[in-house]
Structure 1
Amino acid sequence: MGQTANIVELQQVGKKYRDIRALQCLDLYLKAGEVFGLFGHNGAGKTTIIKLILGLIGASFGRISVFGKDPAQQGGREFRSKLGFLQENVSFYAQLTGLEVLEYFAQLKGATRKQCMELLEQVGLKDAYDRRVKTYSKGMRQRLGLAQALLGNPRLLLLDEPTVGLDPIATREFYHTIDHLKHQGCTIVLCSHVLPGVEKYLDRALILRRGRVLAAGSIEQLQDQASLPAVFQLKGQSGLLEELPQELRPLTRSHSKGAELLVPMDERMQALRILTKLRGIDKIDIQLPSLEDLYTYFNQQRFDQEGVL
């Protein structure tokens, strides 16, 4: 495989459980060093996609390739050693210490004891390496799960709700780790219900609903697809609205602390140039459509199309 070859390929993949379609006609391609976000409500198909990539289940139809082979057909240590996986609800042997847990998984993946200690330090568990897992908090168990997923320096990392139970500092450190792995060439698939803060680390995202793709692409591409406006928050002197040029007034909403302008994304630079020339404005804050805004928009579009009450 060349450098530009896809690490993961899903072509028109679907998965059925009896009469339930968990996934419908999905096309997905992931390259080395890409951080890809999977987003959707419970039952949207996120975990099904991860299980298909891991080879834990087979597709009902379509083609799947991971490192050039069908993951449901191939097995063995070589394939598994390329993968790292963190499930949503982490569970380990409660009587083992953190180090003993990692050493157990290290034997399965051919990793060293030295890496176990390095990973415990990396995830902030260096001082708790000899404590039994039953004494760990939920956040500590989640960190141990991340360390387990990173054993063996995987080329493909699959993370299902990885920040559950982490405090804000630990969450920030986790995303710094993701960014570091990305620059080392690791491909990362990230599922999360916690949307704020994740978007700046993503190369692309996929939004699902009931096994169907609602939208896919980079944050910029999703913003273009949604055509949501940029929100300009203006603060300044009284009579601020009267100073606005006529072409901006239809875009304006006033409130007690100033005014808001809802500006089409492709007009925001022109609007900014106009606003910076007005003497009555003291402060301008610009809020672009966030991943959370986009997620809500695309789900609402499908909600309206389905006519769900």
Structure 2
Amino acid sequence: MTVTVQITDVSKRYGRIDAASGVSFELGQGEMVALIGHNGAGKTTLMKLMLGLIHPTHGSIRVLGEDPAAGQFSARRRLGYLPENVSFDASLTGRETQRFYARLKQEPLAKAEQLLDVVGLGAAADRRVGTYSKGMRQRLGLAQALIGRPQLLLLDEPTTGLDPELRQTFYDAIQRLAAEGTTVLLCSHVLTELEERAGRVIIMNRGVKVADGSLDELRRLARLPTKIRLKVSGLASGEVPSWLAASTPHRRLNGHIVEIDAAPEQKLDLLRRVMAAGTSVEDLDVMSPSLDELYAHFLRSAETPR
């Protein structure tokens, strides 16, 4: 795997405050990685360090083969960035804004303008940015971040102000870029969006990396129960099915649905016992721990004294 970003034992201190502390990870070409954590967890600090906007107190960073802290900026033309709060000249139109950033990156103007259609601003391209809504300004920010087909894309709360249809359009465009080799680092508080799309998740807490891996890897580490819901017929009120041990955590949601908390290694055995008992199963749902649940688990673990 070609490494796009390498962060090694990086710390950033502001007075007595550690915005990042001993953080290490690598991002590979074509990876779509979610960087999550509460406000103040260090996510934006890490992005600013990658951009060279601030310098680490300790440790080293390599971005597209360069050290941003040393003023090596040739990689910036191959990097796209969307901050959480975008700000543009209100007197320029959307088209003029896009052309301005295209010239900065020395990219063809026509291709940059086409991105306005990609983000749903084609019809408003000649309106002044000062008349744009917050969601429209966010889309314009995304359009400028995509100029030049970046090799590394840093997105901080990119779907703020976007309606569901435009969110889907946005993620379709990002996934196409990742499939073609662009490394994507996403920060968002909307974890359900990231759960469906990110191949890997990095969880930050108080400036420290507390978890890093795919959803499957994080689920194995967390060992949170899987919820299994069975809609069965023929159960009397309060009856515990023969295939379910009385000590197994379960709930009767109504007269026909049994919800069971099963350890990861118990799922298949439980389903085999249900079928062997001849139970009439009308419906089945297996719900693995969500990213929200995993996030809460790793934060609790980080806060628990050892």
Q: Which of residues 183, 187, 200 in structure 2 aligns to 1:187?
A: 183
Give me the whole-angstrom Cα distance separating, in 2, the residues matched to 1:170 and 1:198. Answer: 15
Tell me what 2:285 maps to.
Answer: 285
Tell me what 1:271 maps to.
Answer: 270
The answer (yes or no) to whether the contact 2:11–2:19 under 8 Å persists in 1 is yes
> Post-superposition shift, 1:253?
1.8
Identity of matched residues, %: 42
Give me the whole-angstrom Cα distance separating, in 1, the residues matched to 2:209 and 2:38. Answer: 12
TM-score in terms of structure 2 length: 0.93
> Post-superposition shift, 1:167?
1.1
Give me the whole-angstrom Cα distance separating, in 2, the residues matched to 1:49 and 1:196. Answer: 23
The answer (yes or no) to whether the contact 1:45–1:210 under 8 Å persists in 2 is yes
The answer (yes or no) to whether the contact 2:248–2:261 under 8 Å persists in 1 is no
> Post-superposition shift, 1:269?
2.4
Tell me what 1:126 maps to.
Answer: 122
**DSSP-derived class of the 1:197 partner:** helix
Q: Which of residues 29, 32, 47 in structure 1 aligns to 2:29?
A: 32
Pair 132,275 (structure 1): closer, same or farther in 2 beyond 3 Å: farther
Pair 171,275 (structure 1): closer, same or farther in 2 beyond 3 Å: farther
Give me the whole-angstrom Cα distance separating, in 2, the residues matched to 1:33 and 1:132. Answer: 35
Tell me what 1:255 maps to.
Answer: 253
**Paired residues, what number?**
302
Structure 1 moving runs of 4+ over 6 Å:
none
Pair 73,214 (structure 1): closer, same or farther in 2 beyond 3 Å: same
Amino acid at match of 1:264: A
Give me the whole-angstrom Cα distance separating, in 2, the residues matched to 1:273 and 1:256. Answer: 23
> Post-superposition shift, 1:238?
4.4
Structure 2 segments unaligned to the other structure (5+ residues): none
The answer (yes or no) to whether the contact 1:155–1:187 under 8 Å persists in 2 is yes
> Post-superposition shift, 1:41?
0.5
> Post-superposition shift, 1:248?
7.5
Query: Which stretch of the first structure deviates more once superposed, 167-176 or 254-263?
Result: 254-263
The answer (yes or no) to whether the contact 1:243–1:280 under 8 Å persists in 2 is no
> Post-superposition shift, 1:5?
3.2
Give me the whole-angstrom Cα distance separating, in 1, the residues matched to 2:282 and 2:242. Answer: 14
Give me the whole-angstrom Cα distance separating, in 1, the residues matched to 2:128 and 2:103. Answer: 19
Structure 1 segments unaligned to the other structure (5+ residues): none
Q: Does 2:26 match 1:53?
A: no
Q: Does 2:162 match 1:163?
A: no
User: CA RMSD, aligned part only?
Assistant: 1.7
Amino acid at match of 1:270: D
TM-score in terms of structure 1 length: 0.93
